Structure 1
Amino acid sequence: MVKNTSASTSTEEKQKQRQALYQLLGRLPSRNRPISAKVVAREETEEIVIEKLLLDLNGLELVPAYFTKPKKVTGKIPVVLFNHSHFGQYEVGKNEFVKGRKEMQSPPYALALARAGYAGLCIDSWGFGERSGRPEIDIFKEMLWKGQVMWGMMVYDNLRALDYLETRPEVDTKRIATMGMSMGSTMAWWLAALDERIKVTVDLNCLTDFQALIEDKGLDRHGIYYYVPDLLNHFTTSSINALIAPRPHFGLAGSLDPLTPQKGLEKIDADLKKVYAAENASDAWKLKVYPVGHLETAEMRRDIMAFLKKWL
């Protein structure tokens, strides 16, 4: 059954919806299994400290990650869980966070966030970065045979990454944001919908209405990882994102981006405006559409950093 997003939903009902959404993600490892971290490299510049980590999050394979923070930092600071994009460039993964990519602005987000006083964490998702090598479709098929959902396994790792952040002494656990572009955008709004520890959400170029994508004959525009069995019988894009309310959420999209049909963006915006208004938080939801395709512009970067400054 599709959830209604036209009115305020009780805290208890939201928790039930989160549980239902999580249950659609297949057979996942226990959320209570111990996790651990090992620092394998450390780099410092005048502005930033970069730690390369190996995280044991899922008990199946180690997860390489970067944790970053401003060089000159005292006390606890806010943190951004950064989710890397796809672009069919499986070798990139978490390197997008520290090295950037041509579709995004400079400097890379690790440095931009450090300059703004934030720590950051980015992990390699299944099939990406140091976890690449096996074709994405092979991972998807094997997981499917085992009752696992590839997207669910990716979401699980990021939820456990939140658990790891809570162990970092320099992190203010009451000031956690998540963001990303493209696949990372989708990860940001799924994570925030599922976990209230995330206080601020920024999604760049992938707030896609599922039904609008079908109507636009655009299912081939998203990777195989994107598709969760049985999802449309229970949720819409709007009803997932409604679980983030009343926490601050900024969606950015390009009017020329085929991954986010304009009709779908308009529907999501209308739905979430009602949800946030019902929770007396109209100023905490913002969707801005730019006259561009699937990329980040300088204006988008300025708007993102301003949103983080205001809410985080």
Structure 2
Amino acid sequence: MEAHNKLRSEFLRVLHSRRTAPVPLTVELAKPVTDPLHQNSPPSKEEIEIMASCPKADIPNLQDLLKEENLYLNVEEGDQGKLPVLILSLKEKTKAERRPAVVFLHSTNKYKEYLRPLLEAYASRGYVAIAVDSRYHGERATTATTYRDALVSAWKTGKTMPFIFDTVWDLIKLADYLSQREDVDPSRIGISGISLGGMHSWFAAFVDPRYAVVAPIIGVQGFRWAIDNDMWQARVNSIKPVFEAARVDLGKSEIDKEVVEKVWDRIAPGLASQFDSPYSVPSIAPRPLIIINGAEDPRCPIGGLVTPESNARQAYGEFNSSDNFKIILEPGVGHQLTKLQIKESSDWFDRFLKPKLMASTSNCKLCVML
């Protein structure tokens, strides 16, 4: 535990090193987003169907019973210091009771509204369901290249950490806010995400123990392992412009291991060393953690998970909580979201956060008792 706490302190120091002047955490009301900014192609029909497969309580008039909140949290100064938040929950006719909450993080070039089917499904089952726009995405983007430009700028200036780390700072502040809400049980806050969001959820849970249950999807990987084993290409190609900029600046004819390592050290210090998965993943123990990846994922190659899995199993064993750790490598699946991943993560949260449903004589078939 002492080693885990020391590693968290080191990671917090890195986060603080790139922060602008601190500001008090404040909340502003926002308007619903009706036309979110796509930085790539819009969600496919298949993606929408996969999201919609999330288990949902049988409530015929669910849309009428949903409470939607659109907020901004002021987390620091600067143009990225306003965190857009979307929250869905079931309306209550009586005084609010504390419920479990789950935070969801979107993938690269997406936005919080993309996750709405998950929010609705979880809200129907008794959760307070939350999604945010990560840095340079959604309402925090102004053009179709905002995220790409931010990555290149981070390489050039070293002033920001748009790949993973700056959004993790936002998630610490989000936990501050959720812990203060009268309808959220601060001991039952979960976190999940897809791809980039999976990385966000992994690192947020590592640094902030208030995230009590964790389910990263197609996000956990070994950055150092990928460099050492020449398996970095797929991950690099997912955000290639920053590596191309580094290649030119370093006078290289092609992107190689040196370029990759220097980019990670610049835009996410420690990502391929002391904060990599073999060290940060075990630090989540003994909190419930399920890692869900595709067995054929080139961005998260399974060879890079061998040591993190072994170290995590040892850590959970030392806490006598081996049942709190699970890893699923879905056969034949690459870097893609599947219905199995949605179902397994949903079951994980239900198992450990335990929303309770009971029969009701109200105008819905089920109501929530928390």
- Report TM bin, short chain: 0.7 to 0.9
Q: Distance in 2 between matches of 1:185 and 1:59?
A: 26
> Partners in 2 of 1:153 and 1:293 — Cα distance?
27
CA offset digits 1:141-197 (Å, max 9, x no partner): 444526332233221112111111122211111110110010000001100100111
In structure 1, distance between residues paired with 2:32 and 2:141: 23
Secondary structure of the corresponding residue to residue 180 of structure 2: coil
Structure 1 residues 235 and 59: alpha-carbon distance in aligned structure 2, compared to 1, 3 A threshold: closer
Contact 1:178 / 1:201 at 8 angstroms: preserved in 2? yes
1:43-92 per-residue CA deviation (whole Å, 9 max, x = no partner) reads: 99234211111221222232222011123474110111111111xx3xx3
Q: Pairwise mapping of residues 1-312 of structure 1 onto structure 2 (< 5 A)?
A: 10=1, 12-25=2-15, 26-29=17-20, 33-41=23-31, 45-61=63-79, 62-72=82-92, 74-86=96-108, 89=109, 92-98=110-116, 108-133=117-142, 135-143=146-154, 145=157, 147-150=159-162, 151-214=164-227, 215=229, 216-218=231-233, 219-223=235-239, 227-291=267-331, 292-312=333-353
Report the Cα distance in structure 1 between the residues aligned to 2:208 and 2:125, rounded to whole angstroms: 25
Taking structure 2 as the reference length, the TM-score comes to: 0.72
Deviation at 1:279, TM superposition (A): 1.4
State the superposition RMSD in angstroms.
Answer: 2.3
Partner of 1:102: none
Q: In structure 1, what is the Cα distance between the partners aligned to 2:301 and 2:273?
A: 21
Residues 58 and 248 (structure 1 numbering): CA distance in 2 closer, same or farther, change over 3 Å?
same
Amino acid at match of 2:171: N
**Secondary structure of the structure 2 residue equivalent to 1:179:** strand
Label 1:146 to 1:273 Cα distance change in 2 as closer, same or farther (>3 A). Answer: closer
Structure 1 residue identity aligned to 2:159: G
CA–CA distance in structure 2, aligned partners of residues 29 and 181 of structure 1: 28
* Structure number having the greater helix percentage: 2
Cα distance in structure 2, aligned partners of 1:234 and 1:136: 26
Per mean C-alpha deviation after superposition, the further-off stretch among 218-227 and 293-302 is 218-227
In structure 1, what is the Cα distance between the partners aligned to 2:21 and 2:3? 23
CA contact (8 A) 2:119 2:131 kept: no
CA 1:68–1:253: 2 relative to 1, 3 Å: same
Partner residue, 1:7: none
SS at match of 1:24: helix
Distance between the aligned counterparts of 1:203 and 1:114, measured in 2?
19
Aligned length: 288
Which range is displaced more, 42-51 or 12-21?
42-51
Report the TM-score, using the length of structure 1 for normalisation: 0.84
Q: Specify the alignment match of 1:5 in structure 2.
A: none
**Identity %, equivalent residues:** 25
Deviations 1:243-273 (A, max 9, x none): 1001000000101211111211233222211
Question: Aligned partners of 1:30 and 1:248: how far apart in 2?
Answer: 34
| Matched-pair contact (CA < 8 Å) for 1:166–1:173 | yes
Q: Structure 2: which 5+ residue stretches go unaligned?
A: 34-61, 243-262, 354-370
Query: CA 1:27–1:280 in 2, change beyond 3 Å: closer, same or farther?
Result: same
Structure 2 CA distance for aligned equivalents of residues 96 and 232 of structure 1? 30
Equivalent residue letter for 2:91: K
Query: For structure 1, which runs of at least 5 residues remain unmatched after alignment?
Result: 1-9, 99-107
Separation (CA, whole Å) in 2 of partners of 1:232 and 1:210: 5
Segment drifting more, 178-187 vs 116-125: 116-125
Do the aligned partners of 1:47 and 1:114 also contact (CA within 8 Å) in 2?
A: no
Q: Is the 8 A contact 2:270 2:276 kept in 1?
A: no
Higher RCO (C-alpha under 8 Å, 6+ residues apart): 1
| SS state at 2:11 partner | helix
Alignment-mate amino acid for residue 346 of structure 2: M
CA contact (8 A) 2:223 2:271 kept: no
User: Which secondary structure state, in structure 2, belongs to the residue aligned with residue 120 of structure 1?
Assistant: strand
Larger-gyration structure (1/2): 2
Structure 1 stretches of 4+ with a deviation exceeding 6 A read none
Amino acid at match of 1:217: W
